[in-house]
Amino acid sequence: MTDASLPAPSERRQHTSLIAPDARTRKRKAAEARFRMYGIAGIATGIFFLIVLLVSIVSSGAGAFQQTFINVPVYLDPAKLDKNGNRDPEEMSKVSTFGYSPLIQNALLNIVNEQSIETPLEKGGDMKALISASAAAQVRDVVLANPDLVGETVDFRILASSRVDGYLKDRVQREDVARDKNIDAEHLDLVDALLPVGVVEKTFNMAFITGADASESRAESAGIGVAMIGSFFMMLVVLVLSLPIGVAASIYLEEFAPKNRITDVIEVNIANLAAVPSIVFGILGLAVFIQFMHLPQSAPLVGGLVLTLMTLPTIIISTRASLKAVPPSIRDAALGVGASKMQAVFHHVLPLAAPGILTGTIIGLAQALGETAPLLLIGMVGFIASNAPDGLASGLLDPNSAMPAQIYEWAKRADPAFYERAWGGIIILLVFLITMNTIAVILRRRFERRW
């Protein structure tokens, strides 16, 4: 290298003061600020979407926890309910709900007259639009359980129809009523008049949380309680199966598996299973559990089995991470005092990894709890499970729904009154998910160990 071959630096870039920025620097700084804004905008948009989502869930779903009731003293007319007068429940059960409806309607009409409310609605039958179709069944159940009430006037708190409920929740507008054959403007006037005197009232609706789904025409009495029990039994199956299988599989792969082709295949397989669309697990469940093994359709057991297969990869991946986090020195220490490999793993490694495993399992369960698509294929939608199961076997095998499937079912129905239920169901589902995730986070914080 000679000096002559070296070009000297040219003066292409002016050597200016550092303090006075030149035009180009100003331009570059502006570009920098713009780019930074894009980043902030990206995050802001994401968080904005989150807020919109949460606000629309809460604002649309909060209504499901409130319900309109009518407080009405019903005269249980012996002439209608117990013609023979011997108060025999067997005989009285022959009177269907159609026998009860007029009693309730007349009772309501009486109140209207007592309160001297002016209304063009003069017949008992005109009151029908205000009263839920399930009210008659409610009264009938009380009477059959207690036949001696017949002949007395009993105070009832019955459900108002979903139109009345919707009117008080601003879902049903007066403009819409003109086209609605179920209710007229006069009815709404009457509701307005009954509201201040406490006959019609909107209160907290426990039945939504504990009750069962109702048919298409009775949105006001639909609840998510039975679906919640269905979800509970499914989660029970998932927990009982996926935790031991997942932990056993992870222990084998992490601690015992020889490094060979078969182990590789299993590992790649687990990684890919975690990314298989959930609907494919539904197809698997349908083909294997229902078509091939003839397990009952719509049973939480089958739902639980499908969700177990779906959750296993998640649990295996997180369990392996927790096992990996236990330092080899612990294993060496146990082996060094003469423990077998199996003893070292089960007595020392596993207890130390337990908090991590538990956290992973809870997160896996939370995922399974919100999963819907596979449940549609094994038939956990489209019917009404009216009663809560009465034991473990019936809980696992009787047809039931699950919370997300129930929400889907409501979202599909024509009556917008069900949408409110769907959002309300989502609030309950999210409460469960938030609780589970919080427990997982607390567990992690509490027991996290740094080696």
Give the footprint of other proteins on residues 247-276 (CB under 8 A): 248-249, 251-253, 256-257, 265-266, 269-273, 275-276
**For other proteins, which residue of 291, 386, 435, 438 counts as binding (CB under 8 A)?**
291
Chain positions 354 to 373 lying near other proteins, rule: CB under 8 A, are 366, 369-373
Segment near other proteins (CB under 8 A), from 121-129, 167-175, 202-210, 243-251? 243-251
DSSP string, 38-89: HHHHHHHHHHHHHHHHHHHHHHHHGGGGEEEEEEEEEE--HHHH-TT-S--H
Could you say whether residue 279 binds other proteins (CB under 8 A)?
A: yes
Q: Examine residue 28 and tell whether it contacts other proteins (CB under 8 A).
A: yes
- Which residues does 8 contact at the CB level (< 8 Å), separation at least 6? none
Task: Spell out, one character per residue from 44 to 83, where the chain touches other proteins: x when CB under 8 A holds, - when not.
Answer: -xxx-xx-xx--xx--x-----------------------
Separation between Cα atoms, residue 181 and residue 195, nearest integer Å: 23
Closest listed residue to residue 234, CA positions, set 298, 292, 278, 164: 298
Q: How far apart are CA 201 and CA 194, in angstroms?
A: 9
The distance of closest approach from Cβ of residue 196 to other proteins in the complex, given in angstroms and rounded to an integer, is 33
Give the number of residues in contact with other proteins, rule: CB under 8 A. Answer: 108
CB of 127 to other proteins, least distance (A): 32
Among 76, 222, 284, 323, binds other proteins (CB under 8 A): 284
Q: Is 32 in the site for other proteins (CB under 8 A)?
A: yes
C-alpha distances (whole Å) from 320 to each of 267, 323, 330 are 11, 5, 16
Q: Does 109 bind other proteins (CB under 8 A)?
A: no
DSSP-derived secondary structure for 439-451: HHHHHHHHH----
- Per-residue DSSP letters for 4-29? GGPPPP---S----SSS--HHHHHHH
Closer Cβ to other proteins, 190 or 377, answer by number: 377
Q: How far is the CB of 183 from other proteins (least distance, A)?
A: 23
Establish if 337 lies at the interface with other proteins (CB under 8 A).
no
399 part of the interface to other proteins, by CB under 8 A: no
What is the per-residue DSSP string for 211-256? -----TT-GGG--SHHHHHHHHHHHHHHHHHHHHHHHHHHHIIIII
CB 199 within 8 A of CB 157: no
Q: Identify which of residues 26 and 83 has a Cβ nearer to other proteins in the complex.
A: 26
**Candidate list 66, 97, 210, 278; residue touching other proteins; CB under 8 A:** 278
**Nearer of residues 72 and 219 to other proteins, judged by Cβ:** 219
| Residue 62 beta carbon to other proteins: minimum distance, rounded to whole angstroms | 14
